[in-house]
Amino acid sequence: MYKQNRSWMYDKDAVLYGMQSNFLEGVGEFIEFALEHPAYMSGDKIRCPCSKCKNLKFKDPHEVGYDLYAVGFVPNYYNWTSHGEPLDPSVIPQTVGSSRYVPPEMSAWGDRAEMRWDQQMVYDAYGVPSQFNPPQPPNDPPEASTSYQPDADENPTFYQPYVDEGLAERFQDVLKAVDQPLYADCEGYSQLSAVTEFMNIKAEYSLPETCMNRVLQSVGGMLPRDHTLPDSYYHMKQLMSKLGLPCVEIDACPEGCMLFWKEDEALEFCKFCGGDRYKPVRQGKKKPRHR
């Protein structure tokens, strides 16, 4: 539905400064829509969906308009999910019989090699397993009968794919985290990349949860008021779990040679340097040297 109603987004010619009048009107409607969803804004700025900014930068509305007039919208952004519009599964490209898809929001990031590392992490988590099952025929199709007539809303040839609404909702939360800067005009960190950095620090130095909470609160107090850094380890774990990455501590070689994980989970010595996995104890549960 979005794609049909918003064909104006990619409708340019030389009639009026390279643009159709409906394109000019549509850009105005888009900016009005974006301003009606402050939860997706950074102060008084909105994401710029032009083909250069690709929803990664917040700009003043009039700047967004100029960019769209100059270079147009990022490809396939019919569904304005980065500006507060609910996800419409019908606009997500899919191939019948395929379990792979790349949501349009991710396609705007370009090739994987060009993505930031936090975008690559989201792409790897959500761009491979599809939230859609391929269309399947009904288990018990009606027997052939001259009296059988399909319902008005039933298509006798094609069947609607199943949509995991929970995954779609989590996907939107993660998209918001990876595209949302740590604070207005911050270009070095997104919310997700900052959280991942702190999670790595906690694991590397085995910081207790209370210590991590104190660090987050202190750093948050130093950042601008509009920052998006969680104020507790618990909230960081919630964000990571939405990405499908549960917080699990894994034993590691103290020299950094390997992780005692997967097929190496049962090993007690590093297979590269021969170092002990556990601290020497007289009795009781073994304690790993490093995690």
Please state the φ and ψ torsions of residue 132, each to the nearest 5 degrees: -110, 135
Q: Are residues 193 and 221 in the same domain?
A: yes
Contact 244, 125 (CB under 8 A): yes
Assigned domain for 187 exists:
yes
Per-residue model confidence (pLDDT) at position 88? 66
Q: Are residues 133 and 208 in the same domain?
A: no
Q: How many structural domains comprise the chain?
A: 4
Contact 251, 259 (CB under 8 A): yes
Assigned domain for 134 exists:
yes
Q: Are residues 114 and 126 in the same domain?
A: yes
pLDDT tens across 168-214, in order? 566 666 677 777 889 988 887 888 888 888 987 887 787 889 999 99
Whole-number Å distance between alpha carbons of 183 and 188: 10
Per-residue model confidence (pLDDT) at position 98? 40
**Which pair of tokens denotes residue 99?**
């379990």
Per-residue model confidence (pLDDT) at position 164? 47
For 107, the enclosing helix (H) or strand (E) is helix 104-107
Assigned domain for 210 exists:
yes
Assigned domain for 72 exists:
yes
Assigned domain for 227 exists:
yes
Helix (H/G/I), strand (E/B), else coil: 182: coil
Distances (CA, A) of 237 to 57, 122, 167, 178, 242: 26, 16, 17, 15, 9
Domain that holds residue 256: 251-291
Instruction: With a cut of 50, say whether residue 45 has pLDDT above it.
Output: yes
Confidence of residue 234 (pLDDT cuts 50, 70, 90): very high
Instruction: With a cut of 80, say whether residue 81 has pLDDT above it.
Output: yes
Confidence of residue 57 (pLDDT cuts 50, 70, 90): confident
Please state the φ and ψ torsions of residue 73, each to the nearest 5 degrees: -80, 155
Contact 195, 239 (CB under 8 A): yes
Q: Which of 60, 83, 106 is the last residue of a domain?
A: 83
DSSP annotation of 213 reads: H
The top-scoring range by mean pLDDT among 64-78, 81-95, 207-221, 276-290 is 207-221
Per-residue model confidence (pLDDT) at position 95? 38
Contact 130, 94 (CB under 8 A): yes
pLDDT tens across 106-161, in order? 656 666 666 666 666 666 655 543 333 333 334 444 444 444 444 444 443 333 33
Per-residue model confidence (pLDDT) at position 32? 94
Spatial CA neighbour of 234 closest among 214, 207, 213: 213
Whole-number Å distance between alpha carbons of 212 and 196: 13
Confidence of residue 53 (pLDDT cuts 50, 70, 90): confident
Per-residue model confidence (pLDDT) at position 103? 58
Per-residue model confidence (pLDDT) at position 12? 64
Assigned domain for 147 exists:
no
Summary mean pLDDT of the chain = 73
Between 242 and 50, the higher pLDDT residue? 50
Please give the model's pTM, rounded to 2 decimal places: 0.41
pLDDT tens across 27-42, in order? 999 999 999 998 888 8
